[in-house]
Amino acid sequence: MLLRRSILALGRRTAVKPIVPVAPRVFTTSAARRAGEQGDPKPGEPDKKMMAFEDIRTEEDLLPPGAEPGTVPTDLDQSTGLERFEILGKMQGIDVFDMKPLDASRKGTLEDPIIVNSAGDEQFAGCTGYPVDSHVVLWLNMRRDRPVERCAECGSVYRMEYIGPPDDPHAHHGHGEEHGEEHGDGAHSYEEPKTFADFVRPEYRGTPQPHYRQS
């Protein structure tokens, strides 16, 4: 009984605070503020966070601007190098790495080979035969010093076309340079073993055919 009276007295002395409803936070103003800071250009207008794909000239052009303090960075804010190069290209509808499949509508020949573009000194290409998927994938290795390769299964001929930067005669490569064995065309410093094709059809190796003197 005494405990009950104490609880009632304590309840009378306790001030009841009214519950004030909290207005929900509106994100439109913060979103508009962030859009104003980063820039929300209309189509055709420049953006400080994005350089036009055709204006990229050096590696410094692929450095990111970074995200604003207190924000979550996006790929456009923090990507660098080749990743940023690919993103800027995709934003303009350009597939910079040309990931579409090779031409499988015909069988490559020595006179009309299937062209494989490469930005490096060496390139692998997967052949699935002609007609397409007529055999398992066979990987063919092509280099600048041996650009032609023939599939051993279906006989289709592929040729590598170098589309990379031009060679710098003053560049320092480092592999065998001190011995004078480095080649500017991506060739190795050693001679590969001869095969039957080197004697019968040297054009299979991408080397010029010998000219025989008629007697």
pLDDT digits (tens, 9 = 90+) for 109-138: 999 999 999 888 899 999 999 988 999 999
Q: Which domains does the chain have, with CATH numbers?
A: 48-100 (no CATH), 107-165+193-209 (2.60.260.40)
Q: Are 163 and 120 in contact (CB under 8 A)?
A: no
Question: What pLDDT, on a 0 to 100 scale, did the predictor assign at position 186?
Answer: 53
Residue-level pLDDT at 112: 93
Indicate the DSSP class of residue 37: H
Neighbours of 140 (CB within 10 A): 19
pLDDT, tens digit (0-9, with 9 covering 90-100), for 63-122:
888 888 999 999 988 999 889 989 988 888 888 887 788 888 899 999 999 999 988 889
Distance between CA atoms of residues 60 and 47, nearest Å: 17
For 102-154, the three-class secondary structure string (H helix, E strand, C coil) is CCCCCCCCCCCCEEEEECCCEEEEEECCCCCCCCCCEEEEEECCCCEEECCCC
Q: Is 154 annotated as a binding residue?
A: yes
Q: Name which of 204, 202, 179, 199 is nearest 189 in CA terms.
A: 179
* CA distance to 107, 119, 145, 179, 194, per residue, from 189 (Å): 33, 21, 11, 10, 15
pLDDT digits (tens, 9 = 90+) for 4-53: 555 556 555 555 555 656 555 554 444 444 444 445 556 555 566 677 88
Kind and range of the H or E element at 89?
helix 81-91
Note the Cα 75 to chain centre separation in Å.
14
**Cα–Cα distance measured from residue 154 to residue 109, given in angstroms and rounded to the nearest whole number:** 11
pLDDT level of residue 156 (50, 70, 90 thresholds): very high
How many Å apart are CA 40 and CA 118, to the nearest integer? 37
Which of 6-15, 105-114, 167-176, 186-195 ranks highest by mean pLDDT?
A: 105-114
Residue with tokens 């996006």: 74
CB atoms within 10 A of CB 47: 15
pLDDT of residue 212: 44
Average pLDDT over residues 134-143: 93
Binding site annotation covers 127? yes
Q: Are 128 and 104 in contact (CB under 8 A)?
A: yes
